[in-house]
Amino acid sequence: MDISLTPDTYSLGIDDKGNYIDITPCILHGIICPCAARKDKVYDTASKFTSHTKTKRHQNWVNYMNRNRANHYNEMLQSKEIIQQQKQILAQKDIELIQKDTEIHRKNQHIECLLNQLSNTTLSESTTHSYEQPNLLDFD
């Protein structure tokens, strides 16, 4: 099995006024830009990525991100709330699974106990009703 390194996904920087800006990152294993100018294009050097950030499509994306800052913040808050709710649901489901597992374990122990009682009863009945089998070689 080969180990492959996946490229990073570019994220915009933020200036001191809270605006999104382009900051060329350190590129180790390539970088993918989410602006959708060239889908799945991996930029492997800083100079290639810097050239990409000057394209009209990329600049339009940065402008769009700045115009919709409040929406992105609201979406992030909603996502945090959903994540918290999902964590609570998962924790409750874990508790339910543990309870069901414990219940199944108790039922299995009860079944084993009943089977042992049944086999002991059957064994004791077979020993009290034993009879001698005739030796067929004695017959002439």
Q: What is the pLDDT of residues 31-43, one digit of tens each?
A: 999 997 777 899 9
Q: What pTM, to 2 d.p., does this model score?
A: 0.57
Number of domains comprising the chain: 1
Tell me the pLDDT of the chain averaged across its residues. Answer: 87
| CB distance 58 to 35 below 8 Å | yes
Instruction: Please check whether residue 58 lies inside any domain of the structure.
Output: yes
Instruction: Please check whether residue 128 lies inside any domain of the structure.
Output: no
Q: What is the dihedral of CA 15, 18, 21, 25, to 10 degrees?
A: 60
Of residues 54 and 139, more confidently modeled: 54
Q: Residue 15: which domain range?
A: 1-67
pLDDT at 131: 60
Mean pLDDT, range 129-137, rounded to an integer: 66
- When pLDDT is cut at 50, 70 and 90, the band that residue 132 belongs to is low
Mean pLDDT, range 77-84, rounded to an integer: 96
pLDDT at 127: 61
Report the C-alpha gap between 90 and 96 in whole angstroms: 10
Instruction: Please check whether residue 32 lies inside any domain of the structure.
Output: yes
pLDDT digits (tens, 9 = 90+) for 81-122: 999 999 999 999 999 999 999 999 999 999 999 888 888 876
Instruction: Please check whether residue 116 lies inside any domain of the structure.
Output: no
Instruction: Please check whether residue 99 lies inside any domain of the structure.
Output: no
pLDDT digits (tens, 9 = 90+) for 61-71: 999 999 998 89
In the beta sheet, which residues pair with residue 14?
A: 20
Instruction: Please check whether residue 81 lies inside any domain of the structure.
Output: no
